[in-house]
Amino acid sequence: MSAIVSLLRVMTLRDAEAIVIEPGKVPTLRRRGLVEALAMPALEPAMLAGFAEPLLAGQSLAEGPVMVSFTDADVTYPVTIEQTGSGLRLVVRRPAPRKPQKENYRQDAKEPERPPSDAGLAEIHAPHEQRPVADCLPSRRLGGNSSPALARLLEEAVRDARTRGASDVFVSTGQTARIKVDGRLETLEVHVDDDALAAAVRELARDGSADLSMELDGARLRVNAFVHLDGVAVAARLIRDHVPGLGELGLPPELASIVELRDGLVLVCGPTGSGKSTTLASLIDLLDQKRAAHVITLEDPIEYRFTARRCLIHQRELGTHMQTFAEGLRAALREAPDVILLGELRDKETIAAALTAAETGHLVLATLHAPNAVGAVDRLIDTGAPAGRLGACLRTIVTQYLVPRKDGGRAVAAEVVPVTAAVGNIIRKGELHTLPTAIQSGRDAGMIPLERSLARLVETGAVAPAVIKKFAADHDLLASLAGKLRY
């Protein structure tokens, strides 16, 4: 056991997200979506069994992976144990940082303390940054224009933001209003009354924060109002007034084949603000043009409103029409859909329900915060999704980034990975370290490495060479594809 404890400490020292330990194989670290083998011999099965059996405490692995925890020197590691053909497979994740206990927000001294809502869910914000549900202040979901006062306060800022082509508006007590244009923060010359803003936000965010959707002068907004150390603030995402096509977004035309799929799971990955939801909306709009299907969308909140042509489309919003994504998915299976759009894969329960839907004859389109295809599969496995099920039901993994253009605005760079038989076999065997090579060599199968997409942006003169180096994981491949790169 001491050898495995030493491995866990190595994982922590190297700032890795997880370590994978299997019998007869060299242990591997997972860092920033990449897999790194340690310089050491393979471990014996008896060593893994001696470490795992006390943790299992008699729990059976016959029904699938078991999630337990291991404590060493007051540090607790989450551990996933799975039975494979060669023996036990362990995935140990780094411990979550300790956080001070949060106090429930109270609107004033006379108001009784409000307990956290049972509906609060941990949200995946970035690759391998998973917060325990108990550590999260729940966010209230409010449907429609539930705060006329807040709408009036945001009206001028939103109008100016639309004029300047901004994607987001930020207002905060004691600070200048700001907007985000092409990923950069800029100041906004509008006045928002601090007292009125505080009153509006505190009425909404009685549990610390609140999500809501709004419409202002024809503009749809996705809004989060929240309380912070120095007061209150609002972050509002502006949503386009029409559903853009794949070509308008600058996405590869190969993505059009996704709407021809009849079942399975399609993932659209990338960081926050990379346009994942817009890509899903574009796929649904394309599907509506090509064939008749019953589509159910589960969104947080509803962003684009679809005007159905050939399809029957039902849109449902988290907190308004359902309490959780998992609940909405379970209900959808009784509503005879052909296609399910899922706003985000956030937790173990939602991921399990999505896999079930994908395996039972439905096409499921979902977003996931992950840096690439390897990171996406890695994250799903870490949440307990069996590798065998993933290899069988995944159909395509798309990862996209927004890259600053030379002439202003942002261009899309995308990695596209159709899950062929070979890729499915890699996933089932857990040999994710070989997946980048399969992507690079799989052009005939429709694979598009991110580096190829970045190189194309350089070759067309849209993006500067120095910019794309920040997004590429394989600089050697990038240099070979883009002859204009200057290091």
Same domain as 414, residue 326: yes
- pLDDT tens digits for 401-424? 999 998 888 999 999 999 999 999
Please check whether residue 125 lies inside any domain of the structure. Answer: no
Give the CATH number for residue 159.
Answer: 3.30.450.90
Q: Is residue 102 part of a domain?
A: no
| Total domain count, the chain | 3
Instruction: Assess whether 287 and 188 both reside in one domain.
Output: no
415 with 282, same domain: the answer is: yes
Q: How far apart are CA 460 and CA 456, in angstroms?
A: 6
Same domain, 26 and 86: yes
Phi, psi (5° rounding) for residue 451? Answer: -60, -35
Q: Does some domain include residue 478?
A: no
Long-range contacts of 64-67 (CB under 8 A, 24+ apart): 64/384, 64/386, 65/384, 65/386, 67/384
Q: So what's the pLDDT on residue 232?
A: 96
Positions in the chain whose pLDDT score sits under 70 = 1-2, 31-34, 63-64, 96-146, 483-487
Residue 233 lies in a domain: yes
- Is residue 317 in some structural domain? yes
In a domain? residue 118: no
Residue position matching structure tokens 């869910």: 121
Give me the half-sphere count of Cα atoms (radius 13 Å) on the Cβ side of residue 31: 12
State which residues form the domain around 339. 246-448
User: Does the residue 422 lie in any domain?
Assistant: yes
266 and 151 within one domain? no
Q: What is the pLDDT of residue 100?
A: 44
pLDDT at position 126 = 31
Is residue 280 one of the residues assigned to a domain?
A: yes
Q: Are residues 221 and 87 in the same domain?
A: no
Cis before residue 301, ω within 30 degrees of 0?
A: yes
